[in-house]
Chain A
Amino acid sequence: MLEIDIKKRLRDFDLRVQLDIPRGKTLMLVGDNGCGKTTLLNLVAGLDNPDNGRIALDGRVLYDSGNGTNVPPEARGIGYVFQSYALFPHMSIYDNVAFGLRTRRMAASEIKILVKEHLEAASLWEIRKAKAADISGGQKQRTALARALIIEPRLLLLDEPLSALDVRKQATMRKELRETIRACGVPCIIVTHDLRDVACLGDQACLLEQGMIAQHAGAEEVLNWGLCTDF
């Protein structure tokens, strides 16, 4: 269970968010550009600090302004897929996926087994030696997801994971993504502008406006919000 109750002063408004996401459930975060969606992900990941509040994951406090707890991002065990995918350009696909295991000083033989398993599951084993710049958008997305999943995260954060793909590719990747997330069984937050993502991937949906949760409901109810087009 992910528990968020935080406040942060942004340039134009205050970001105030109170959310609970149970294990295995996916929250879709929608809203206009600049409403604080990515900032919220960064706050949960520990890449930015709230002004005050509390974040806890599976009962473990990650941030608490009350007692000064602030677990650094490297110790939070959160898988984060960035909008640009942020694949390290100087490394191969294999090394990108192995990165998280190497930081944990895992044995090379064990790393090889795990990376192979994840790359084969993502149909990337054949191109394991390619550099990030030389692969397609879909392959980049799968690499970024494999890199985030291999560390066995306790929470998944995905920032517009399909936005860099063309429409035809999006439909295929959406189905793949849904299955992968379901298999993980951890809480997940996905930022998106596309209502098809909400309908296909989400269990809950949140509409963020000027840093506040304007709507919060089941994913299937999103179309009833009167928002029939993309955000």
Chain B
Amino acid sequence: MASNQADISRFDERSLAELVNHEHETPGKAICIPSRTREVAMKAGLAFLLTLAMAFIALPVVALFLKSPLETTLRSLHDPMVLDALRLSLTTSTLTTIIVVVMGTPIAYVSARFHYFGKEIADSLIDLPVIMPPAVAGIALLMAFGRMGIVGHYLSAFGISIAFTTLAVIIAQVFVSSPFYIRQARTSFEDVDLAFENAARTLGASRVYTFLHVILPIAMNGLISGAIMAFARSLGEFGATIMFAGNFQGRTQTMPLAIYTAMQGDLDVSLCLSIILVAISFVVIIIVKTMTRRVIMRC
């Protein structure tokens, strides 16, 4: 008991964990680990885990650069397959992002601000492509817009064919990347205080004017982050594209598809494309992080 009181009097100098340990200590078996040692051990463990995780992510990326000498990479940049894939990927991803932003922004705003019949179902449908395996998305698109699909069947009657065209690449990218933008935009709109909207309305602004001059600028950083995420997702899209659009150089062969194709022949081309994709992804992450930090600082 006296010992306990002495412990409590020194409580400010000793951790609670140490005190509990002392309580359960068996006389004659003094195996008490000092709290400082325990703290160091914990920090060392966490540092090891962090290093392991960083190595796990960094190693394959570093390996890409090490296994692909700069000279070879630069030479591969002149390969028509690389140039075609790069041009197609950047073009389709840019178009996809524009389509997703133009169509997704009003959808995200309505979803954030209004309640309507079936809203839960609509929101779930919007989020569905995030969890749907890309290959399944590709088959689903084929069944909808393919020549024998439920919509494609009617389109083919007018001589319009979507599957295995550049348009199919864009449709596949829009399908898989739109939730990334809409989810982020929805959250950004939800974060805009309703009082700003109300204030604008009482000052004489119509709904459209309020949206364009008040809500949109306040939510802008979040929208840009969402658009960048959608662009990145489009750029890396593989499964749905190969199923729905096929793998034709210059028409539907985007960079991920070109990497896959080159892997079976010229590894240098494959490495070159991979390095370009890694570089773009890295730039995207930095932009997103910068944008997010600006939003947090503003709040």
Q: A residues within 8 Å of B by Cβ?
A: 42, 45-47, 72-76, 78-80, 82, 84, 86, 88-90, 99-100, 103-104, 133, 147-148, 151
| A100 B198 Cβ-Cβ under 8 A | no
A118 CB, min distance to chain B CBs, angstroms: 13
B38 at the interface (CB under 8 A from A): no
A107 CB, min distance to chain B CBs, angstroms: 16
| B204 A103 Cβ-Cβ under 8 A | yes
A46 to B200, CA, bound (A): 12
Question: Could you pull out 10 A-B pairs where Cβ atoms are within 8 angstroms?
Answer: A46-B202, A72-B201, A82-B199, A88-B196, A88-B214, A88-B218, A89-B218, A103-B205, A147-B199, A148-B202
Q: B residues within 8 Å of A by Cβ?
A: 193, 195-196, 198-206, 209, 213-214, 217-218, 298
| A103 B202 Cβ-Cβ under 8 A | no
A148 to B28, CA, bound (A): 79
In the complex, what residues of B have CB within 8 A of residue A104's CB? 204
| A45 B202 Cβ-Cβ under 8 A | yes
A47 CB, min distance to chain B CBs, angstroms: 5
A210 CB, min distance to chain B CBs, angstroms: 24
- CB closest chain-A residue, reference B203: A100
- CB closest chain-B residue, reference A90: B217
- CB closest chain-B residue, reference A99: B203
| A86 B206 Cβ-Cβ under 8 A | no
The total of Cβ contacts below 8 Å across the A-B interface reads 65
A42 to B200, CA, bound (A): 13
In the complex, what residues of A have CB within 8 A of residue B206's CB? 74, 103
| A103 B193 Cβ-Cβ under 8 A | no
| A76 B202 Cβ-Cβ under 8 A | yes
A79 to B203, CA, bound (A): 7
| B217 A74 Cβ-Cβ under 8 A | no
| A74 B204 Cβ-Cβ under 8 A | yes
| A80 B202 Cβ-Cβ under 8 A | yes
In the complex, what residues of B have CB within 8 A of residue A78's CB? 202
- CB closest chain-A residue, reference B201: A73
Task: Indicate which residue in B202, B209, B217, B218 contacts A79 across the interface (CB closer than 8 Å).
Answer: B202
Q: Which of A47, A80, A86 has the most CB of B within 10 A?
A: A86
| A103 B198 Cβ-Cβ under 8 A | no
A42 to B201, CA, bound (A): 12
B196 CB, min distance to chain A CBs, angstroms: 5
In the complex, what residues of B have CB within 8 A of residue A74's CB? 201-206
In the complex, what residues of A have CB within 8 A of residue B203's CB? 74, 99-100, 103, 147-148, 151
A88 to B193, CA, bound (A): 10
In the complex where A86-B193, A103-B209 touch, is A80 in contact with B204 (Cβ < 8 A)? Answer: no
A80 to B203, CA, bound (A): 8
Task: Indicate which residue in B193, B196, B199, B218 contacts A80 across the interface (CB closer than 8 Å).
Answer: B199
A74 to B298, CA, bound (A): 29
Task: Indicate which residue in A42, A72, A79, A89 contacts B298 across the interface (CB closer than 8 Å).
Answer: A89
In the complex where A88-B214, A88-B218, A90-B218 touch, is A99 in contact with B205 (Cβ < 8 A)? Answer: yes
| B214 A151 Cβ-Cβ under 8 A | no
A104 to B209, CA, bound (A): 11
In the complex, what residues of B have CB within 8 A of residue A89's CB? 196, 218, 298
A82 to B203, CA, bound (A): 12
A76 to B202, CA, bound (A): 8
- CB closest chain-B residue, reference A76: B202
| B218 A86 Cβ-Cβ under 8 A | no
| B204 A100 Cβ-Cβ under 8 A | yes
In the complex, what residues of B have CB within 8 A of residue A80's CB? 198-199, 202
- CB closest chain-A residue, reference B219: A90
In the complex, what residues of B have CB within 8 A of residue A73's CB? 198, 201-202
In the complex, what residues of A have CB within 8 A of residue B209's CB? 103
In the complex, what residues of B have CB within 8 A of residue A47's CB? 198, 201-202
- CB closest chain-B residue, reference A89: B218
In the complex, what residues of B have CB within 8 A of residue A75's CB? 204
In the complex, what residues of A have CB within 8 A of residue B195's CB? 82, 84, 86
| B298 A82 Cβ-Cβ under 8 A | no
- CB closest chain-B residue, reference A157: B202
- CB closest chain-A residue, reference B216: A90
In the complex, what residues of A have CB within 8 A of residue B217's CB? 90
In the complex where A89-B298, A90-B217 touch, is A82 in contact with B198 (Cβ < 8 A)? Answer: yes
